[in-house]
Every structure is written in structure tokens, then in C-alpha cells.
Amino acid sequence: MTDPKKHNVNDEFDDEIMDEVNRIFANHPHEYIAKLEEIGFIYHDDDVDHEEQEEAGARPLNVNQEYLVSFFHGDIPLSEKTVDIFLEERRGNNPNFPLIRKYFKQANRHLLSMLLYGLHRYPVSVELLSDLAFFHETKNILGTLIGRYTAACELQQNLEVFSELALDFFYATLPDGYDALHALKEKYPLGTDKRVTIDFLIEMENSRDSDAGKDVQF
């Protein structure tokens, strides 16, 4: 059995807290979080963007990263060295993703110029094309993205890598309503190895869509 005296004390304590909380909301509508924390409450924001927090606190951890940050800020001119350093950092064992990622999300113009310069040197680079697609998520560069992927598919003669590029192209532009696989299909005549590959990828995607439709139950 609950001790009536103890129950009453708790009720009074709870009432005092609620009165204080109500007073804070009434008197401090724009700073209620700080005032609630002053009386012992701990504020938890379930909508915190943890990536954004990481990016805000990210700092260069080596000379290469310091160089890239200076470049992104416009303090260093674009050169082959810039691309080489970027790729070296990208391929490192512990890439500083939060540091570089924030410049993608800012649609940094120097970063875009570096990616395009890099693709001029390495037009079939899966890494640079993937990064260009990531940049596109922040700033619409659909025409540029289509042009670079199309050129890469044209130049790539290794059918396995070509297949990978074509699928990356498809998924990178699909949200924009562009069907890269059908666009590529129009480029390659029947019977050619690339056309066979594209036809197979289209069949595979159609089969996947069909299977997904079967899983939907009403």
C-alpha cells in the first residue's frame, strides 16, 4: 500500500514543477528551452542533423586537407595537383568525409570546377562521376551530368565497367525524370556489345520493378 503522506508530497512537488513550467512558457516563449534547462530539464532534439553537426566541427587533419580547403575558399588556383590531392584524400584509409562533404552541400563553385577539370583529364573516372552526381543533389547540373556520363559510356570499352557506369548514370538522373538506359539504347546499334549490355540492364530493371509491384498488397 502506498504511503498517503508520501503520495501527497509528490503530488505537491509535481504541481510546483508544472506551475513553474507553465510560467516559463508564458513568460519566456522565445527562450523556454534555456529556462527549462535552468530548472533541471535536459533538452533533446530528435530532429538534429548529425551530419550537419559533424560538418560544422570538421577541420583539416593534414596538409592535403588544408590545401583543399584553401582551394575551396578560392585562395589557390585550380591545377592538376588539386585533382591529384583530392583523389588521394578520397582514396585514403580514413577520408575526412565531413570536411569535404560540407563543400558539396554548399555547392562550392571551386569544387565543381575541380570535378569538371578532373573529368577532362580522366573522363571515365567512376569516382569523379559519382562525386559529380552527388554535387547535382545540391545544385541542379543535369545537362552537365548527362553530358559527362554519356561521354564516359562512349569512351569506356571494358563492358563490366561500362555496365557499372550505365547503371550509375541511370540512378543518378532517374529522380530528374531522365531515363539514361533508354537514352543509351538509342546510341548503340543492335548486335553491338554495348547494346546487348544496355538491353540486359533494361530487362533487369523492368524485372525488378515488376517484382516490386508484386510485393504491394492492398
Which three three-digit cell numbers place residue 206?
Answer: 523492368
Report the alpha-carbon distance of residue 124 to residue 151 in Å, rounded: 8
The pLDDT score that the predictor gives to residue 31 is 66
Cα angle 11, 12, 16; round to 5:
115
- Banded pLDDT at 36 (limits 50, 70, 90): confident
What global pTM score does this model have?
A: 0.74
The number of beta carbons lying within 10 Å of the beta carbon of residue 111 is 19
Residue 132's Cβ-side half-sphere holds a number of Cα atoms within 13 Å equal to: 30
Helix (H) or strand (E) holding 207: helix 193-215
* DSSP string for 83-95: HHHHHHHHTSSS-
The pLDDT score that the predictor gives to residue 43 is 57
Three-state DSSP state, 181? helix
pLDDT digits (tens, 9 = 90+) for 49-84: 678 888 888 899 999 999 999 999 999 999 999 999
The pLDDT score that the predictor gives to residue 147 is 98
Q: How far is CA 213 from CA 19, 123, 203, in A?
A: 55, 37, 15
Q: How far is CA 147 from CA 104, 133, 154, 169, in A?
A: 20, 12, 11, 10
pLDDT digits (tens, 9 = 90+) for 125-137: 999 999 999 999 9
Long-range contacts of 174-178 (CB under 8 A, 24+ apart): 176/140, 176/142, 178/142, 178/146
